[in-house]
């Protein structure tokens, strides 16, 4: 798909990008209950509990089970 501007039928180009980012990584489920997720590159946070901080993309990938981004996150494991 490199260089292609086509997207899947029924979804927007942004949804296709999210699909490529999320599914192009290694999958290992990561628990996140009881955490406050704080994006360091934007003014966004969600949840309550011990803070887990990192770039928004790293948080997205962590939530979808991609452990490859764990070095980009800080907080209790």
Q: Please count the other Cβ atoms lying within 10 Å of the Cβ belonging to residue 36.
A: 15
Rounded CA separation 5/18 (Å): 14
Q: What is the pLDDT of residue 64?
A: 80
pLDDT score recorded for residue 20: 73
pLDDT attached to residue 27: 53
Output the tens digit of pLDDT for each of the chain's 77 residues. 566 667 677 878 777 777 777 766 655 555 777 889 999 999 999 889 999 999 999 998 888 888 889 999 998 76
pLDDT score recorded for residue 34: 85
């Amino acid at each position: 798909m490199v260089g292609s501007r086509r997207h899947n039928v029924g979804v927007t180009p942004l949804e296709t990008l999210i699909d490529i980012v999320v599914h192009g990584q290694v999958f290992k489920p990561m628990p996140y209950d009881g955490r406050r997720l704080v994006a360091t590159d934007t003014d966004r946070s969600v949840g309550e509990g011990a803070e887990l901080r990192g770039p928004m993309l790293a948080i997205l990938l962590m939530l979808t089970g991609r452990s490859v981004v764990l070095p980009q996150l800080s907080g209790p494991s």
